[in-house]
A and B are shown apart, each in its own frame.
Chain A
Amino acid sequence: MSATLIKDGSICSDNWFLLAADTLGDTQADKLAQHDGDNIIVPLSCWLEIGEQLLARPGKTGVWLQSNETPAALAADLSRLPLIALNFPVFSDGRAYSSARELRQNMGFEGELRAIGDVLRDQLFYMARCGFNAFALREDQDAETALAALDDFREAYQASVDRPQPLFRRRA
């Protein structure tokens, strides 16, 4: 992966490899062999098929979901996954915001929740409020300004993952 990663409020290097859905399939075994010992993020279909085998490898394993795939598919696996990534095929596809909240608030996922795909500066603030703590920025995005976007607003009305009490319960 070449994109810049923001994690837990700072720019950092990425030590995970994202395996796209089309790089697996028939040549799955070969591809995985190339990443022997690496930390990899695999598509849901791959996880469902050979999850046990992946966990037995030396590297860590995470799963990424396409925007039409729901977190329910991972309900039984959350404690075994240090990372879940949610894909934004295009920034205007807002389904992953709901998936993120579901993972954090309803399912109690506490690992790294990473936004991948069309991840742009102007959406980061809402993503963070929905529970993403890592952002693999689209390649053309400037990391410093993206980092600043996490502070676009100082306050918010709703209950959210980063601030579970809505403003009406905090208003002084």
Chain B
Amino acid sequence: MYRYDNYDHQMLADRVAQFRDQTSRYLAGKLSDAEFLPLRLQNGLYVQRLAPMLRIAIPYGMLSSTQMRKLAHIADYYDKGYAHLTTRQNIQFNWPALAEVPDILEHLAEVEMHAIQTSGNCIRNTTTDQFAGVSADEVEDARAYCEIIRQWSTFHPEFAYLPRKFKIAVCGTRRDQAATQVHDIGLYIVRNDAGEIGFRVLVGGGLGRTPVIGSEIREFLPQQHLLSYLDAILRVYNREGRRDNKYKARIKILVKETGVDTFRDKVEAEWQAIKDGPMTLTQAEVERCRAFFHDPAYKDLPAHSDTLTQALNTDLLFAAWYQQNVAAHKKTGYAIVTICVKKTGFAPGDLDSAQMRFVADLADNYSFGEMRIAHTQNIVFADVAADALYQLWQDLKTHDLEADNLGLLNDMICCPGGDFCALANAKSIPIAESIQRRFSHQELRDIGAVSLNISGCMNACGHHHVGNIGILGVDKKGEEYYQVSLGGSADNNTSLGKIVGPAFSQEEIPVVIEKIVAVYKQSREPEEAFLHTYQRIGMEPFKDALYGSKTGETKDAGRKAAGAQS
């Protein structure tokens, strides 16, 4: 992974000193709340329901075991012993004290980490596919480009006070796992006929209050022009994005209101003025960044592992985990393991400090000391020898990390919701748990691949719009209700879910999900996944099952059933 040199270290040290000074001026009453707000946000610090929340950047999800141990230390020392993985591949702490945040940042700087631009109206952490560089099917490793974008976006002097936040994703794998199309800028790495690397550029995607799928503004951007083109897009947005209404301030609204063709022309005009200038990427810089992501010292292993075969034949639970959580690796004899941080009874994406230290040790033992955080709030060990998989699984079991539900209904994306977040309309974590408790292991396998995403409010941190099943917490006259949508997807054919009908109460939700699943099971064709069945049969059968002819009756029945269950 990327390692800091003196320049990177110096900038980080200066940043910590700057924020220490800003914090002390704020605490001394010399900076107003309004003036301190963007300064703390650009260092990841929110003021939340119960305490401040500190979001720490994990650039494009790459994390070393040393860094994970430092995070565990922070969890124990400055927090309540746990942390939460986010949908931007970051990690956040829920209980730091404001006055101690500069100290936390200083600890992080020791391991080349920070909280820069994890919040605020600026360019956020760039994300990518968690299988970048190891996927068996990839155009090009996205991480070198992510690092180039990280450096370009970090402390960008022109774009620190944008109309609204700005998120970029880069995808180099053929099967997009980065939700690229719902980003302010989505970049797909492509090759032209001459075999040269470039980017297909999408702009104006996003979730939140107004979900939009990004529009293509350039089919092929040669790689050397990456930064000047990004500068051009951002400049048009910074100048023309709406600042009169925060709900209409994202670039997606500008692109919609301007029209994609006009927007493209404006970017093109801006780009022509700065193209071929000093921001033009040099081959040397691309190579320098690539060198950080060279393959680790893989051994030459046989394609077939007797140890693995024997374990699969004798241990059914291991076989179930293997089938669900292990993916093909580009290197013979290796596998990609996803540790699903979604065990029933634990908040989705939450890790306690003991688990964090344990995962760090496992990364050292099994995966060259590195791991990745997926936007689905799971942890990936990218380089595990097939021979070692059985032992790894046994180790994972000792710390409640063996959940074998990757990609299944229980592997939900879930925001912290009303239990922690000041913005939330409703709780998310108890909803996730009530659904998880509803389905047996066997049922989950029978249902198969389905994504269920839960957000506690319109801001959509839980990506509910792009869940095959989406759940959104809403406020109905002071009570927490949940709106259900179907048909969303964040893959190469991204689609936005459609709302089924009137919202449900918290107690009704498990039954609602059960009914949705029942419709799927009745209607599916052999091997047909939930999303495809939905696309084939449409919304009506689901609506009928949920609301019947008389909405009230069905809902009452659901309520009774839910009551009986609890």
Q: Does B461 contact A (CB under 8 A)?
A: no
Q: Does B285 contact A (CB under 8 A)?
A: yes
Closest Cβ–Cβ distance, residue A29 to chain B (whole Å): 34
Residues of B within 8 A of A152 (CB): 14, 18
Q: Give which listed residue, B161, B274, B281, contacts A94 with CB less than 8 A.
A: B161
> Are the C-beta atoms of A97 and B157 separated by less than 8 Å?
yes
Contact digits for A87-125, partner B, Cβ 8 Å, 1 yes 0 no: 000011111011101100110000000000000101101
Given contacts A106-B274, A166-B279, contact A154 B239 (CB under 8 A): no
Q: Does A37 contact B (CB under 8 A)?
A: no
Which of B148-156, B352-360, B442-450 contacts the other chain?
Answer: B148-156
Q: How far is the CA of A114 from the CA of B11 in the complex (A)?
A: 26
Residues of A within 8 A of B154 (CB): 157
Q: Give which listed residue, A91, A102, A159, contacts B278 with CB less than 8 A.
A: A159
> Are the C-beta atoms of B151 and A122 separated by less than 8 Å?
no
> Are the C-beta atoms of B155 and A156 separated by less than 8 Å?
yes
Q: Give which listed residue, B35, B121, B160, B274, contacts A105 with CB less than 8 A.
A: B274
Tell which of B31, B35, B239, B281 has the most Cβ of chain A within 10 Å: B239
> Are the C-beta atoms of B10 and A155 separated by less than 8 Å?
yes
Q: Does B540 contact A (CB under 8 A)?
A: no
Residues of B within 8 A of A106 (CB): 273-274
Q: Give which listed residue, B161, B273, B274, contacts A92 with CB less than 8 A.
A: B161
Residues of A within 8 A of B427 (CB): none
> Are the C-beta atoms of B35 and A120 separated by less than 8 Å?
yes
Given contacts A130-B157, A153-B14, contact A70 B39 (CB under 8 A): no
> Are the C-beta atoms of B157 and A125 separated by less than 8 Å?
yes
> Are the C-beta atoms of A126 and B239 separated by less than 8 Å?
no
Q: How far is the CA of A91 from the CA of B285 in the complex (A)?
A: 35
A54-109 with Cβ < 8 A to chain B = 70, 91-95, 97-99, 101-102, 105-106
Residues of B within 8 A of A9 (CB): none
Given contacts A152-B18, A153-B14, A159-B279, contact A98 B155 (CB under 8 A): no
Residues of B within 8 A of A97 (CB): 157-161, 238
Residues of A within 8 A of B155 (CB): 126, 153, 156-158
Given contacts A91-B35, A93-B243, A171-B5, contact A157 B152 (CB under 8 A): yes
Q: How far is the CA of A91 from the CA of B18 in the complex (A)?
A: 18
Contact digits for B234-250, partner A, Cβ 8 Å, 1 yes 0 no: 01001100010000000
Q: Does B143 contact A (CB under 8 A)?
A: no
Q: How far is the CA of A97 from the CA of B158 in the complex (A)?
A: 5
Tell which of B39, B151, B282 has the most Cβ of chain A within 10 Å: B151
Residues of B within 8 A of A92 (CB): 38, 121, 161
Please name the residue on chain A nearest to B228 by beta carbon.
A159
Given contacts A155-B7, A158-B156, A167-B7, contact A93 B282 (CB under 8 A): no
Q: Does B22 contact A (CB under 8 A)?
A: yes
B465-479 with Cβ < 8 A to chain A = none
> Are the C-beta atoms of A130 and B22 separated by less than 8 Å?
no
> Are the C-beta atoms of A168 and B282 separated by less than 8 Å?
yes
> Are the C-beta atoms of B151 and A126 separated by less than 8 Å?
no
Q: How far is the CA of A167 from the CA of B158 in the complex (A)?
A: 16
Q: Give which listed residue, B121, B157, B238, contacts A126 with CB less than 8 A.
A: B157
- Using C-beta atoms within 8 Å of the partner chain, give the interface range for chain B: 35 or more
Q: How far is the CA of A54 from the CA of B175 in the complex (A)?
A: 63
List the count of A-B residue pairs having beta carbons below 8 Å apart.
103
Q: Does B162 contact A (CB under 8 A)?
A: yes
Q: Does B84 contact A (CB under 8 A)?
A: no
Residues of A within 8 A of B157 (CB): 97, 125-127, 129-130, 156, 158, 160
Q: How far is the CA of A156 from the CA of B159 in the complex (A)?
A: 14
Residues of A within 8 A of B148 (CB): 168
Residues of A within 8 A of B151 (CB): 157, 167-168
Contact digits for B1-36, partner A, Cβ 8 Å, 1 yes 0 no: 000010100110011001000100000000100010
Q: How far is the CA of A127 from the CA of B158 in the complex (A)?
A: 8
Residues of B within 8 A of A123 (CB): 161
Q: Does B526 contact A (CB under 8 A)?
A: no
Q: How far is the CA of A105 from the CA of B277 in the complex (A)?
A: 10
Q: Give which listed residue, B159, B162, B277, contacts A159 with CB less than 8 A.
A: B277
Residues of A within 8 A of B38 (CB): 92
Residues of A within 8 A of B279 (CB): 158-159, 166
B103-160 with Cβ < 8 A to chain A = 121, 148, 151-152, 154-160
Closest Cβ–Cβ distance, residue A67 to chain B (whole Å): 8
B269-298 with Cβ < 8 A to chain A = 273-274, 277-279, 281-282, 285, 288
Given contacts A106-B273, A158-B152, A159-B279, contact A94 B10 (CB under 8 A): no
Residues of A within 8 A of B227 (CB): 166
Q: Give which listed residue, B10, B22, B235, B243, contacts A98 with CB less than 8 A.
A: B235
Q: How far is the CA of A88 from the CA of B148 in the complex (A)?
A: 31
> Are the C-beta atoms of A130 and B152 separated by less than 8 Å?
no
Closest Cβ–Cβ distance, residue B372 to chain A (whole Å): 23
Q: How far is the CA of A158 from the CA of B161 in the complex (A)?
A: 16
Q: How far is the CA of A122 from the CA of B162 in the complex (A)?
A: 16
- Give me the interface of B with A, judged by CB distance under 8 Å: 5, 7, 10-11, 14-15, 18, 22, 31, 35, 38-39, 121, 148, 151-152, 154-162, 227, 235, 238-239, 243, 273-274, 277-279, 281-282, 285, 288
Across the A-B interface, the 10 shortest Cβ-Cβ residue pairs: A94-B161, A129-B157, A126-B157, A168-B285, A157-B151, A97-B158, A159-B278, A153-B14, A106-B273, A98-B238
Extra pairs beyond A126-B160, A155-B7 (5, CB < 8 Å): A101-B235, A156-B11, A156-B157, A157-B11, A157-B152
Q: Could you show 15 A-B contacts with beta carbons less than 8 Å apart?
A: A91-B161, A92-B121, A92-B161, A93-B243, A97-B160, A122-B31, A122-B35, A153-B14, A154-B14, A160-B157, A166-B152, A166-B279, A167-B7, A169-B285, A171-B288
